[in-house]
Structure 1
Amino acid sequence: MYQVYIVDDAVLTRKALVMTMPWDRWGCVVVGSADDGERAFEEIVKLEPDIVITDIRMVHVSGLELIRRCRAEGIRAQFIIISGYNEFEYAKAALRMEVLDYILKPIDDEELQKAVEKAVQRIGETKALSAERREQEGEIKSLLLEYDEKNMNAYLRGALRYVRENYARELSIRDVAAHLAISDSYLAKLFKVELNITFLEYLTRVRMRRAMELMRDKNMPIYEVAERVGYRDYRHFSSTFKKLAGVGPKEFQMRS
């Protein structure tokens, strides 16, 4: 159920909103109401409702000030303003605070119902996006296995560190082995015996995890992401990414 909180200093308006709106239709329930912004703020912080419908002019704390305080506290509710004042400055201030809708009194039931429907739709989209982001964070963590390096062979520990520091350039097991002054065959054996993966698999996971982090910036071109994590061939990067993440890099970036 989506939780709704109502703020209005007019008793009849509050009662009408609670009693006459078909809240069940949208899977909503009114969890509280207040006649002033001060009390409303305290309860909204505690209840964290999904939707807040508030008057704009009230005693002590105005509707705009209430929204400003809520935003400062990290409250991400969908706010709908109802007001008897058709003033441009109010509407402009409301837009700056990402208010969903600004409805004039006397309230038109159909207009308010459309605003609530819009709020419910937006909440659903936001929750779906949050779920996708959480899933991607699982994907990112799974790409790089966490190893207990305390009891690890010193050469292998040094190899992992060297890869994490130099993944962005062309890197082979021979380069790492030369840096450690050991044979590449010995290093390959360490990866296989102690980690049960190959050197290339580890290097690829390090690169892909970093690529996923970079793609949180939706404005960064995919070819630039590829170059930053050590791939000169964009097509190779794209196919490797899709094989590990299950989706192509562009789709992943759009979901992030």
Structure 2
Amino acid sequence: MFNVLIIDDEPWSREVVKALGPWDRLELRVVGEAEDGNEGLRKIEELQPDIVVTDMRMPGTDGVELLEAMRSRWPQLKIIVMSGYDDFIYLKQAIRSKAIEYLLKPISPEELEAALKQSKKELEAARKSEAQSLSPLFPNRAALQRYAEQRERLYASLLELNRERAEEAFDHLHREMRSTDESEAKEGQEGRVTADLTLMLEQFLSQQSLTLGQLHPESEQFSSPGGSEALRGARELYGRAIDALLELRHSRSRLDMAEVANYIDARYQEAISLESVAGQFLISKEHLSRMFKAFAGENLSDYIVRRRMEKAKALIAEEGVSIKHAAQLVGYEDIAYFYRVFKKHYGMTPGELRKDG
């Protein structure tokens, strides 16, 4: 069974998706909901869904920023995009992010089912391909299943930065390798398993814009160990990577939030987000979000929106700039969406502001 996350700022819209999807028949399960992009990213990290059904127009981190973040950090995710507008900008971003389907609201049950079926089909194909690539490493299906379980534990240890959990998984793998009778088969199996685990670690780091060499220059010597030392080398490689990531997290905790605010103030008119700012300062988005809220009294995404709205208001009311041009100057190409955010922020539309002024 595959898991699904629904992201939409309108509660009724999320309810519609849940009501229309043939979840049981397709053997899919809705594991969570989120009302904006920021919460969506947190839920993806927490729940690890296989499929994400998301709206494009949301406060804070909108659909465009969300798609970029998902494609960068979780390229294996299957994405279904919803929008109330046949908007070329959104469609272009959906295509670039390799979304399964771009559904116009109100969505039909048939279109949603077709998109879900295609997502499931691609997930099953990927799972089958992975199983086929790993199956030559093991003498039987039971051994393959045991390896897959420890592989998942190792990935979880990376997400948690838990060295003890990683070492427990390697202990299990070591016992599994020792059960192989023939020494040549054992040596070849260890080498191939190590290559697979090293690739998984490199892919994990890549999702965070890091490499093994960046974390620890000496770690690269363990990237391709051979013979009986293969698994021991992989164990040390994972341990060093986790230790380096923990140290990196600790050093980033001293980040000056005033510097972050100055960075945003200079670039709020660009396509910046919690994700991109966290990447710029080499800090996890969760940690940045907590630190920035403690510093500024509001979350980072709201701060970006407030700075954009303050500048837009000044451009329209004080400098006589057209509403469309003001929207573009503060980073909004979608004028209708700009109107929506502006009204939510000030309780009036840009046109009403100009009229009152």
Q: TM-score, normalised by structure 2?
A: 0.38
User: 2:83–2:105: 8 Å Cα contact kept in structure 1?
Assistant: yes
| Residue 33 (structure 2) aligns with | 33
Counterparts in 2 of 1:124-143, with a 5 A limit? 124-138=124-138
User: 1:53–1:81: 8 Å Cα contact kept in structure 2?
Assistant: yes
Q: State the 1:74 CA deviation.
A: 3.0
Offset from partner CA, 1:185-204 (integer Å, 9 cap, x none): xxxxxxxxxx999xxxxxxx
Offset from partner CA, 1:227-251 (integer Å, 9 cap, x none): xxxxxxxxxxxxxxxxxxxxxxxxx
Q: State the 1:133 CA deviation.
A: 1.2
| Residue 15 (structure 1) aligns with | 15
| Residue 107 (structure 1) aligns with | 107
Residue 46 of structure 2 aligns to a residue whose secondary structure is: helix
Cα 1:196–1:36 shift into 2, 3 Å: closer
How big is the alpha-carbon RMSD for the aligned residues of Structure 1 and Structure 2? 2.7
Distance in structure 2 (CA, Å) of the matches to 1:43 and 1:57? 18
Q: TM-score, normalised by structure 1?
A: 0.52
| In the alignment, structure 1 residue 59 sits paired with structure 2 residue 59 | yes
| Residue 155 (structure 2) aligns with | none
| Residue 227 (structure 1) aligns with | none
Cα 1:75–1:47 shift into 2, 3 Å: farther
Higher-Rg structure is: 1
Letter in 2 for 1:42: R
Letter in 2 for 1:37: G
| Residue 77 (structure 2) aligns with | 77
Q: State the 1:138 CA deviation.
A: 5.0
Cα 1:131–1:63 shift into 2, 3 Å: same
- Shifted more, 120-129 versus 74-83: the winner is 74-83
Distance in structure 1 (CA, Å) of the matches to 2:79 and 2:57? 15
| Residue 241 (structure 1) aligns with | none
Residue 102 of structure 1 aligns to a residue whose secondary structure is: strand
Offset from partner CA, 1:106-149 (integer Å, 9 cap, x none): 1111111111011111111110011111124559xxxxxxxxxx
Q: State the 1:31 CA deviation.
A: 0.3
Residue 76 of structure 2 aligns to a residue whose secondary structure is: coil
User: 2:86–2:104: 8 Å Cα contact kept in structure 1?
Assistant: yes
Cα 1:196–1:84 shift into 2, 3 Å: closer
User: 2:100–2:115: 8 Å Cα contact kept in structure 1?
Assistant: yes
Counting aligned pairs with the same residue, the percent is 35
Q: State the 1:72 CA deviation.
A: 2.2
Distance in structure 2 (CA, Å) of the matches to 1:196 and 1:24? 47
Long gaps (5+) in structure 1? 140-194, 198-204, 210-256
User: 1:48–1:75: 8 Å Cα contact kept in structure 2?
Assistant: no
Q: State the 1:92 CA deviation.
A: 1.7
When you count helix as a share of all residues, which structure comes out higher?
Answer: 2
Cα 1:11–1:74 shift into 2, 3 Å: closer
| Residue 44 (structure 2) aligns with | 44
| In the alignment, structure 1 residue 5 sits paired with structure 2 residue 1 | no
Distance in structure 2 (CA, Å) of the matches to 1:85 and 1:112? 17
Long gaps (5+) in structure 2? 140-181, 193-357
Number of residue pairs matched by the alignment: 147
User: 1:79–1:101: 8 Å Cα contact kept in structure 2?
Assistant: yes
Distance in structure 2 (CA, Å) of the matches to 1:63 and 1:137? 41
Letter in 2 for 1:83: S
Counterparts in 2 of 1:188-227, with a 5 A limit? none
Cα 1:58–1:136 shift into 2, 3 Å: same
Residue 32 of structure 2 aligns to a residue whose secondary structure is: strand
